[in-house]
Amino acid sequence: MQHCTAATTRYLLAVPPNGKYRATIFLIHGFPDISMCWRYQIPTLLSLGLRVVAPDCIGYGRSEAPRFTPESAWRYGYRQCAKDMKELARQLGSSQVILGGHDWGGAVVYRIALYEPEFVTHLFSVCTPYWQPTKEFRSLEETVAMIPYFGYQLQLANGGLENILQTKEQIRQFLNAMYGGRTASGEAVVSTEKGILLEKLPGVKQTPLLSKTEMDYYVDEFSRTGLHGPMNWYRTRKQNWKEEQEFMDSSIEAPVLFIQATKDTALRPELARNIDRYLKNLTKCEVVASHWALWEAPEECNAHIKRWLEDVVFGRKEKL
């Protein structure tokens, strides 16, 4: 596995030991995360003969992180991400790819398949259900009024948090809190309704989901450009809505695997209640895990992904 750079995007590239691969899969991370979030899945994908590409999305890690302005907002939108991934694939010699996503990455892979249907042969999403484009725009405030446990997004979008949490130690505390770390007395430091509980943040302990070495790596990567870039993804709501209006009557034709995390308090199971009506070729399964299912239940996630790849992807068409 090696770090590579193409234009403004940094990505991990891994190829099976014999150098031959049956297809290319792009893995898109979520918030707050980086390409390394797929560390437990990449070996399984390589064993199936896949070439793996895991980018740091714009604003994250070693990729470009432009300041958010009315003029640069488009850089953080779904449509531009679709164009960026298609261009990266072209540079790597692939005209079609399989997609995998988690959290925001799950939202992204659905939209890439909607915007670029010829580019995506199959896709999977962990935690994130599909939602159909809507005719009416709903602001984040209106959405939170309907779904109170999305309230944390207001804190992330308003810009205040990134101005408070700037040092390496503060970023470490933020990441530990987001990844399920608690205080010495066992109190949570994140509320889905309110966001980061700043008064408790200094007392957060190391998350059990990452080793100290892994956390040090994450802190270094997030400290490169701070939290502004990652939080910009919460500021493109209206732009994304405008750009997807032409896809109101479109549907995703590619086969989809949706892995639901039953203990996810942000992307709760009830959000996926009706996705069957919008996805024509859906495989749905679940893991007993929190939002960080890729790390908390890697064997279970890998088993679902492997079975789907073998049965649905390669069972019908040996070579993509």
The whole-angstrom separation of Cα 6 and Cα 28 is 16
Provide the β-strand partners of residue 55: 11
Choose the catalytic residue: 29, 102, 291, 304: 291
Catalytic-residue membership of 103: yes
How many whole angstroms separate alpha carbon 287 and alpha carbon 259? Answer: 7
Active site residue 276: no
Residue 22 CB partners (closer than 8 Å, separation 6+): 48, 49, 50, 314, 318, 319, 320
Q: Could you count the other beta carbons within 10 Å of the beta carbon of residue 131?
A: 13
What DSSP element (H or E) covers 284?
strand 282-287
Which candidate in 56, 103, 122, 264 is catalytic? Answer: 103
The CA distance from 284 to 306, in Å, is: 14
290, 292, 298: which is closest to 33 by C-alpha?
292
Please name which of 92, 90, 87, 112 lies closest in space to residue 101, comparing C-alpha atoms. 112
127, 267 Cβ separation under 8 angstroms: yes
**Coil/strand/helix, residue 195:** strand
> Which residues form the catalytic set?
103, 291
